[in-house]
A and B are shown apart, each in its own frame.
Chain A
Amino acid sequence: MLPIGALLAGCAVFSLFLLLQGKSPAEFFALVYRAGFGTAFSWENTLSRAAPLLLAALCVALPARLGLVVIGGEGAIVLGGVGAGFAGVLLSGEPAGVALPVMLLAAMLLGALWIGAIGALRHYRGVNETIASLLMAYIAIALMNHLVEGPLRDPASLNKPSTAPLNEALRVGTIPGWNVHWGLAFGVVACVLAWVLIDKTTWGFAARIAGGNVRAAQVQALPVGKLILSFTALGGAFAGMAGFFEVAAVHGSANASLAGGYGYTGILIAFLARHNPLAIVPVAILLAGFEASSGLVQRRMDLPDATVLVLQGFVFMAILMSETLYGRFKVFAPERWRTV
């Protein structure tokens, strides 16, 4: 209820922003609809963009169920991409059935280590996970730049330093009948699995207790440290998986395009979905549609393509502000108003 209100409020403020520039909000949203959801082609475009967003949002939502605000999924995506790209180069002679799983595992492992390290810093050293994850994302991007411009660079990549291009056999294809790569299916399955984990298993229940009140979890002698490590690592593994698909299905090699901001859009999606993995699916598709439209908006309305980022920014502000409204209104929390 509130997230939808926040989404609308963000759009309303954004409309004012457009009006100030003499542009028509109606035209803008009509274009977004056309570019994102109007035709079969635009749907395919949107869904392809949704794949990494689903996985990036899980990297925020899973730790969030333990009360941790991890905003550095971008780092895990980037390192996962480099890992997948490098593994792909090493295994270029192997059959896809061997090489692709290894590449995927390498990407997930790197992502898990990166975000899991943030969980470990939090649990063992009391380091604020939000700041740590943000800063470590910059370290990850710098590491990637170092690797693709240095030791892992393909001498043939001149303008855009990259790892060597993947063997054609090691590229992930599209889902049969659609022009959408397999990352979407993996992303949706990952969301469902995450939901099952949180809602249907004892391990997820323990995590919800720790997220609901860590003192209560400690008094119940629940293994809070293990929960933090496993949930941050799992979130990181999903983000690493996003990196794998970016390399193996989209770019064909690891390069600076990996730091495309999916990790940051994922934060917005997770918050809009209130960290519910099932809600992440529609929200990610909606936001992917917004992003898919930026090119058309730029051409038709003569607006810079960053305009869509401005919209995202307004929506995110509205979401964060709406968090303080929980329990303030009778309609949202009627039970709180019963006693004095």
Chain B
Amino acid sequence: MSTVATKRGAIGVETLHMTMRFGGFTALDDCSIKITPGSFHALLGENGAGKSTLVKCMMGFYHATSGEILVDRREARITDPRAAHALGLGMVYQHFTLVPSLTVAENLVISREDAPRIIDWRAERADLQAFMDRMPFQVPLDQSVRALAAGEKQKLEILKQLYLGRRFLILDEPTSVLTPDEADEVLSHVRGLCQDGVISVLMITHKFREVTAYADQVSVLRRGKLVGGGRVAELDHTDMAALMMSDATLARPAPRSGMRGAPVLELDGITARDRTGLKDIRIDRLCVHAGEIVGVAGISGNGQMELMEILTGQRPYRSGEIRVKGAPYTARRDDAQRHNIRFLPEEPLHNACAPRMSVSDNIAFRSFDRHGGFWLSSRDMRARASDLVQQFKVKTTSIDVPISALSGGNVQRTVLARELSGEVDLLIISNPCFGLDFSAVSEIRSRIMQARNAGAAVLILSEDLDEIMELTDRVLVMSGGALTYNAATAEADIATIGYHMGGHA
């Protein structure tokens, strides 16, 4: 069996003066970064700072404009991912690359580049068992991947890389789909592997907590340049944030003010089919008052998307009642306009914009028919768009470019400009900061807080527990299609929330 490379043990990787240009845009600027053998190296940076570009150059997806890469202290030419694999470099992607319908053993065998045409399962099975026994953590070989929890899948992704003989691993935000407990478990295993000298790891992350708790080295990129780094022990969160952030100052979340008012959104006894059509969504009671932010925490796939669809009228419900300000709510356009209801779905480009239409058109989605007339007033639309683009600091060359040309943060700002302008009584939000950079995140959160302070009822569905803890007044947990936990955020305990998120309650 040739897959498990004959050479074992962690190797170091070093880039020297690496520069990557796309046309006139410099994504990576003279970046020299060294990952020593056996280290757990964190790579921090805002979105668009060049983290992905750097690892894609290492893995051979991109060819750097200039600069060199040393693998195991020897100069290497990495022309494509296959060449990177041959050198012992591997990558674990943000999203799983496993085949859900196959077992763990089958997933491992088919991942090999030299998988034989006819597989001798008995022999492979014995090899795999021997491999698993050598590993510090295991995943049951005969389990089908579909049945694994997210944390188990992430462990399997890492085991797969080890099985393929990789000695240097790039992890791209490996914990974004895990519960806090799962994240801790996976990362402590990774740290163990590094300490034992099995692999070196370069981990892309946004979470300072993970850097401090697990990594030993850190490098920080900003606008394609390496701006700092060093031993994690010598840096604290403030230092890292200062390095990551550009000169722009962070908008602090506005302080809470105002009183909780009357109920605005009420759901009673709602039941509906979930996405798969096999399970039910059951919301016994959900109530959001004016002047408060209610957060729904939970791991994705536990019914949050369906709840959002029920609220936006995209998913019919079998029974129950939705009331807005005491009156039955039908999710029709005039209803939504009369009650000043605004939605911010997750991945705004995908769910709230028409990518090929212009920024100006996209801003007009909510208001173009407000006057009730038949004719479209493009002059009003453009004037309003210019005004809002300025007010919400959307960075765009013109209001006529397609919105898909904007960066993620600016798309979100555009959607916020559309939805948060004017009077807002009810704001329903799903993962508002998913995949956005630091400054966009803090700005968006302070806008949400402002809406709350101005008396809006806000419902946030988010997978980011930190976000929920920072923003909300009350926290609920959604698990298995139902709301299983309800507490004032100030009194809520992270461990208990995590327990409910895992569906253990």
Name A residues whose Cβ lies closer than 8 Å to a Cβ of B.
199-206, 208-209, 211-213, 215-216, 218-223, 330, 335-340
Q: A222–B333 contact, CB under 8 A?
A: yes
Binds A, one of B108-116, B344-352, B432-440: B344-352
What is the bound-complex CA distance between A222 and B405, given in angstroms? 25
Question: 20 more A-B contacts (CB under 8 A) besides A221-B335, A340-B27, A340-B52?
Answer: A200-B375, A201-B376, A202-B375, A202-B376, A205-B361, A205-B376, A208-B361, A212-B355, A213-B350, A213-B353, A213-B355, A215-B314, A219-B352, A221-B333, A335-B401, A338-B23, A339-B405, A340-B22, A340-B25, A340-B53
Whether B313 sits at the interface, judged by CB under 8 Å, is yes
Whether B95 sits at the interface, judged by CB under 8 Å, is no
Contact residues of B between 306 and 325, Cβ < 8 Å to A: 312-314
Output the nearest chain B residue to A336 by Cβ-Cβ distance.
Answer: B405
Output the nearest chain A residue to B337 by Cβ-Cβ distance.
Answer: A221
Q: A215–B405 contact, CB under 8 A?
A: no
Please give, as numbers and ranges, the residues of chain A lying within 8 Å of B335 by CB-CB distance: 221
Please give, as numbers and ranges, the residues of chain A lying within 8 Å of B117 by CB-CB distance: none
The 9 closest A-B pairs by CB, nearest first: A212-B354, A335-B405, A221-B333, A213-B354, A202-B369, A218-B314, A340-B27, A221-B336, A215-B351
Scan B372-391; emit 1 where CB is below 8 A from any A CB, else 0: 01111000000000000000
Output the nearest chain A residue to B396 by Cβ-Cβ distance.
Answer: A335
What is the bound-complex CA distance between A141 and B22, given in angstroms? 55
**How close is B283's CB to chain A, nearest CB, in angstroms?**
19
Report which of B23, B25, B356, B375 forms a contact with A201, defined as CB distance below 8 A. Answer: B375
Q: B313–A215 contact, CB under 8 A?
A: no
What is the bound-complex CA distance between A340 and B25, given in angstroms? 8
Given contacts A221-B336, A339-B48, contact A205 B368 (CB under 8 A): yes
Whether B402 sits at the interface, judged by CB under 8 Å, is yes
Report which of A209, A211, A335 forms a contact with B402, defined as CB distance below 8 A. Answer: A335
What is the bound-complex CA distance between A245 and B354, given in angstroms? 38
Ordered by A's residue number, 30 sampled pairs between the chains whose C-beta atoms are within 8 Å are A199-B376, A201-B374, A202-B369, A202-B376, A204-B376, A205-B369, A209-B354, A209-B357, A209-B365, A212-B354, A212-B355, A212-B356, A213-B353, A213-B354, A216-B353, A218-B313, A219-B314, A219-B343, A220-B333, A220-B365, A221-B312, A221-B313, A221-B331, A221-B336, A335-B404, A336-B405, A338-B25, A340-B22, A340-B52, A340-B53
Most buried by B among A206, A216, A223, A336: A216
Whether B332 sits at the interface, judged by CB under 8 Å, is yes
Output the nearest chain B residue to A339 by Cβ-Cβ distance.
Answer: B407
Report which of B27, B354, B368, B407 forms a contact with A202, defined as CB distance below 8 A. Answer: B368
Q: A220–B366 contact, CB under 8 A?
A: yes
**How close is B56's CB to chain A, nearest CB, in angstroms?**
10
What is the bound-complex CA distance between A206 and B376, given in angstroms? 10
What is the bound-complex CA distance between A71 and B98, given in angstroms? 39
Most buried by A among B27, B52, B369: B369
Given contacts A205-B368, A219-B345, contact A200 B376 (CB under 8 A): yes
Q: A338–B313 contact, CB under 8 A?
A: no
Please give, as numbers and ranges, the residues of chain B lying within 8 Å of A335 by CB-CB distance: 397, 401-402, 404-405
**How close is A156's CB to chain B, nearest CB, in angstroms?**
49
Q: B407–A223 contact, CB under 8 A?
A: no
Output the nearest chain A residue to B56 by Cβ-Cβ distance.
Answer: A340
Please give, as numbers and ranges, the residues of chain A lying within 8 Å of B357 by CB-CB distance: 208-209, 212
Q: B312–A219 contact, CB under 8 A?
A: yes
Please give, as numbers and ranges, the residues of chain A lying within 8 Å of B22 by CB-CB distance: 337, 340
Whether B364 sits at the interface, judged by CB under 8 Å, is yes
Q: B48–A216 contact, CB under 8 A?
A: no
Q: B374–A203 contact, CB under 8 A?
A: yes
Please give, as numbers and ranges, the residues of chain B lying within 8 Å of A205 by CB-CB distance: 361, 364, 368-369, 376
Contact residues of B between 175 and 201, Cβ < 8 Å to A: none
What is the bound-complex CA distance between A112 and B361, given in angstroms? 30
Please give, as numbers and ranges, the residues of chain B lying within 8 Å of A338 by CB-CB distance: 23, 25, 405
Please give, as numbers and ranges, the residues of chain A lying within 8 Å of B25 by CB-CB distance: 338-340
**How close is A43's CB to chain B, nearest CB, in angstroms?**
36
Most buried by B among A200, A209, A222: A209
What is the bound-complex CA distance between A337 and B405, given in angstroms? 8
Most buried by B among A200, A209, A220, A336: A220
Q: B376–A337 contact, CB under 8 A?
A: no
Contact residues of B between 409 and 457, Cβ < 8 Å to A: none
Please give, as numbers and ranges, the residues of chain A lying within 8 Å of B48 by CB-CB distance: 339-340
What is the bound-complex CA distance between A6 and B352, given in angstroms? 33
